């Protein structure tokens, strides 16, 4: 049975298994619009009849992931706190959709928050929701356009009459910040005697049990190689994302960390410890492989020139970690210029990243990303010997994701 605790919109943080006083001020929580939705109905993913009012029932993305980073090289955020990654609406079966409404891909998130009276939220984000490359605004825009636009309860038609343009995005960022403040991962671990160190490693059970003791539920922990670098807390939702109740549940899978030898280094700009026995990337559970093929979510994958095709896929070579890497093929380095992916002689190598997905229905669990986005597009779907140009983002008619498969 899934463990659960409820974070009430009016009493956040009061149900944690061990005493913890949330730093969220009362007025800070409620300086926001109201959905007018009840929270007495079923939680998302737990309805027994078809729900028709999707302004007050989150669907299909009713499995919510609150994701946090522990970045050490380079370091981001305070040395005694994890940082925000986002809040993602996965479908109840673990599949997901992204970039649901390009017409609401708002820019200048900082200005939007300031103009609508959420400068306190912005100030918090500038310290605790930060990009590893210093591109905070781009990071926030990505999280909103990729994930925020997919919430059914945040559609503009669900907002109170007269709400300003972008009010649903403001509500999204307020909710993410509010929820994050009730999940102080650093404190949860510290209460169990687990603090960042370069002198020892931890078992997965030690780390997850510490979180479970504090919250009553088990999160998913992800590692980059053997180093702990992210955590995912899972929820169902009663009512609207604007002001509903978050019901915490056990993670549906354990994440990518191995069962032992997990490093939890301090935020000191990088750390190096001797790993007994050693390890090498295999691409199995979220590690970046040395080489592999790149598969499109719809059909086919990438050839050696960086084009999309249904022909035999090329072998790609990867150098770096899931956070930041370059890639090449037999034709040369791969790079993005004017939004177009190419690989070849004379191409300037671009930096890519990979998003770890815990639940996948097909393909691999590493999604190729460029500038934080896992969405790629082409003018049409290839067939036969056709090769289609691959563009970053979803500006062309056929959109898809690209999975890295170790070989």
The pTM of this model reads 0.64
Residue 257 lies inside a defined structural domain of this protein = no
Task: Kindly state whether residues 312 and 172 are assigned to the same domain.
Answer: no
| CATH code at position 144 | 3.90.730.10
Residues 143, 168, 232, 388: which is the catalytic one?
Answer: 143
Q: Is 147 a catalytic residue?
A: yes
pLDDT of residue 265: 95
Q: Of 249, 274, 305, which residue is a domain's last?
A: 249
Residue 256 lies inside a defined structural domain of this protein = no
> Using one digit for the tens of pLDDT, what is the confidence trace for 129-186?
999 888 999 999 999 999 999 999 999 999 999 999 999 999 999 999 999 999 999 9
Task: Kindly state whether residues 332 and 245 are assigned to the same domain.
Answer: no
Task: Kindly state whether residues 99 and 239 are assigned to the same domain.
Answer: yes
Task: Kindly state whether residues 209 and 337 are assigned to the same domain.
Answer: no
Contacts of 158 (CB under 8 A, 6+ apart): 35, 55, 56, 152, 168, 240
> Using one digit for the tens of pLDDT, what is the confidence trace for 214-273?
999 999 999 999 999 999 999 999 999 999 999 999 999 889 999 999 999 999 753 333
pLDDT of residue 80 exceeding 50, the answer is yes
Task: Kindly state whether residues 34 and 155 are assigned to the same domain.
Answer: yes
> Using one digit for the tens of pLDDT, what is the confidence trace for 118-145?
999 999 999 999 998 889 999 999 999 9
Residues 147, 168, 245, 295: which is the catalytic one?
Answer: 147
Task: Kindly state whether residues 187 and 105 are assigned to the same domain.
Answer: yes
Task: Kindly state whether residues 245 and 295 are assigned to the same domain.
Answer: no
Task: Kindly state whether residues 219 and 316 are assigned to the same domain.
Answer: no
Q: Which range marks the domain in which residue 358 is found?
A: 291-406
How far apart are the C-alpha atoms of 33 and 392, rounded to whole Å? Answer: 35
Task: Kindly state whether residues 23 and 113 are assigned to the same domain.
Answer: yes
Using CA atoms, how far residue 3 sits from 213, 215, 247, in Å, is: 12, 10, 10
Q: What share of the chain is helix, strand, coil (3-state, %, to 5)?
A: 20, 25, 55
What is the total count of domains within the chain?
A: 2
The mean pLDDT of 360-364, rounded to a whole number, is 42
pLDDT of residue 362: 40
């Amino acid at each position: 049975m899934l463990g659960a605790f409820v974070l009430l919109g009016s009493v956040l943080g009061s149900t944690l298994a061990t005493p913890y006083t949330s730093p969220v001020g009362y007025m800070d929580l409620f300086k926001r619009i109201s959905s007018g939705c009840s929270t007495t109905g079923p939680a998302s993913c737990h309805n027994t009849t078809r729900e028709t009012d999707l302004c007050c029932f989150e669907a299909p993305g009713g499995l919510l992931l609150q994701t946090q980073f522990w970045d050490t090289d380079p370091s981001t955020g305070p040395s005694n706190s994890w940082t925000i990654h986002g809040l993602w609406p996965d479908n109840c079966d673990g599949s997901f959709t992204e970039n649901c409404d390009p017409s609401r891909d708002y820019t200048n998130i900082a200005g939007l928050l300031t103009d609508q009276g959420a400068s306190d939220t912005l100030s918090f984000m500038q310290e605790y929701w930060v990009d590893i490359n210093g591109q905070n605004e781009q990071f926030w825009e990505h999280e909103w356009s990729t994930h925020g636009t997919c919430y059914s309860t945040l559609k503009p038609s669900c907002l109170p009459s007269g709400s300003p343009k972008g009010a649903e995005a403001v509500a999204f960022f307020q909710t993410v910040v509010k929820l994050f403040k009730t999940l102080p991962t650093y404190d949860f671990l510290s209460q169990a005697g687990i603090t960042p160190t370069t002198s020892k490693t931890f078992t997965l059970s030690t780390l997850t049990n510490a979180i479970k003791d504090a919250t009553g539920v088990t999160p998913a922990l992800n590692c980059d190689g053997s180093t702990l670098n992210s955590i995912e807390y899972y929820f169902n939702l009663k009512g609207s994302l604007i002001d509903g109740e978050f019901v915490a549940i056990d993670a549906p899978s354990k994440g990518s960390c191995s069962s032992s030898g997990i490093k939890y280094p301090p935020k000191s700009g990088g750390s190096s410890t001797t790993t007994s026995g050693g390890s090498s990337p295999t691409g199995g559970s979220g590690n970046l492989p040395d080489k592999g093929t790149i598969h499109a979510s719809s059909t086919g994958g990438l050839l050696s020139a960086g084009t999309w095709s249904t022909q035999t896929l090329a072998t790609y070579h990867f150098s770096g970690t899931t956070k930041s890497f370059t890639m090449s093929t037999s034709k040369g380095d791969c790079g993005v210029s004017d939004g177009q992916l190419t690989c070849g002689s004379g191409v300037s190598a671009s930096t890519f990243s990979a998003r770890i997905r815990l639940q996948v229905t097909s393909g691999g669990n590493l999604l190729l990303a460029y500038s934080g986005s896992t969405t790629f597009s082409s003018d049409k779907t290839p067939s036969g010997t056709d090769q289609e140009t691959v563009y970053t983002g979803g500006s062309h008619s056929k959109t898809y994701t690209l999975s890295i498969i170790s070989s």
